[in-house]
Amino acid sequence: MTMNAMTDMKPETRQIPHYRPAGNEIALFEMAHANGLPLLLKGPTGCGKTRFVEYMAARLGRRLYTVACHDDLSAADLIGRYLLRGGATEWVDGPLTRAVREGAICYLDEVVEARKDVAVVLHPLTDDRRTLMIDRTGEELKAPPGFMLVASYNPGYQNVLKRMKPSTRQRFLSASFDFPDPATEQAVVAQESGLDLARTAPLIRLAGRIRALSGMDLEEGVSTRLLIYAATLIAGGMGLDDALEAAVIEPLTDDADVRTALRDLVATTWG
């Protein structure tokens, strides 16, 4: 596994990131952590799932291992493998194994993207056994208090080949995430980008209009993350049209006709 796929965050060296709750998700996470229960976060891209996990890990003072799941991610990437170092072969723990040993939080982002063998590894960790089997070393690790498994996925992208099986989904507590209400989203965009509230208001209106579109070839509406990117560019002095082109229109679609329609929507929003 490459280091860019995993984030190892030490609680003693990081600040609690900014997060604005939308419901009872903080209480749910704290209860799940206290009782050793796994948690599944469902919601569209860029709606704050990862930021929420980072916030909760810092709030609870736990080390966080974040794994960005992808098509080639296997169980061995999570558990570990033997590597050749200095002419000798030695075992190197993967992020899931390290989290179990340390009583940390392991966050599997977009877990349905991983290979099918990953689910087999997760099942014993998501029931009353709370164990991780390492076949290559013959170890059976019992997860200590403090260990928590958190996963996320985007239901809107599910298809026949990339769908979480009920046998896996029903092992997790679940919480649905969505884009914030306009007032909250405006405050978040302003906080994260440094752009003043008045200038972020049209961005939020634009986001609402894009998300309300039907019949257009868009897999998803614009994310809060992209709005923050756009506001950051604007705050840095980039022109409005250029910022929106780079941070909203181009990331949303490759279709020329759809891009034209989005530019028309921008023009009416700021017209």
Per-residue pLDDT, 8: 52
Measuring CA to CA, which residue among 176, 94, 79, 89 is closest to residue 124?
Answer: 79
Q: What residue numbers bound the domain in which 159 lies?
A: 3-176
Domain identity same for 155 and 186: no
Per-residue pLDDT, 53: 97
pLDDT tens sequence across 99-138: 999 999 999 999 999 998 999 999 999 999 999 999 989 9
Per-residue pLDDT, 219: 77
- Whether 4 shows a pLDDT value over 50: the answer reads no
pLDDT tens sequence across 57-87: 999 999 999 999 999 999 999 999 999 888 8
Question: CA-CA distance, 224 to 50, in Å (whole number)?
Answer: 12
Per-residue pLDDT, 30: 98
Query: What CATH number corresponds to the domain at position 171?
Result: 3.40.50.300
Per-residue pLDDT, 115: 92
Tally of domains within the chain: 2
Domain identity same for 102 and 199: no
Per-residue pLDDT, 134: 94
Domain identity same for 139 and 193: no
- Whether 52 shows a pLDDT value over 90: the answer reads yes
Residue that terminates a domain, selected from 120, 152, 176: 176
Per-residue pLDDT, 163: 76
| 18-22, 52-56, 93-97, 196-200: least confident range | 18-22
Residue that terminates a domain, selected from 176, 196, 230: 176
Rounded mean pLDDT of the chain? 90
Give the mean pLDDT of 90-107: 96
Domain identity same for 130 and 191: no
Domain identity same for 21 and 154: yes
Instruction: Find out whether 249 and 258 touch, Cβ atoms under 8 Å.
Output: no
Over pLDDT 90: what percentage of the chain? 76
Domain identity same for 190 and 138: no
Per-residue pLDDT, 92: 93
Instruction: Decide which of 220 and 153 is more confident.
Output: 153
Kindly state the tokens that stand for 49. 């799932």
pLDDT tens sequence across 11-27: 444 578 889 898 999 99
Per-residue pLDDT, 37: 97
Whether the model pTM is above 0.75: yes
Domain identity same for 47 and 119: yes
Domain identity same for 171 and 218: no
Domain identity same for 169 and 43: yes
Domain identity same for 136 and 9: yes
Measuring CA to CA, which residue among 177, 173, 223, 172 is closest to residue 42?
Answer: 177
Residue that terminates a domain, selected from 126, 155, 176: 176
Domain identity same for 148 and 133: yes
Give 271: exposed, middle or buried? Use CB within 10 Å, 0-12, 13-18, 19+. exposed
Domain identity same for 195 and 216: yes
pLDDT tens sequence across 230-262: 999 999 999 999 999 999 999 999 999 999 999
Instruction: Decide which of 97 and 136 is more confident.
Output: 97
Give the mean pLDDT of 27-41: 98
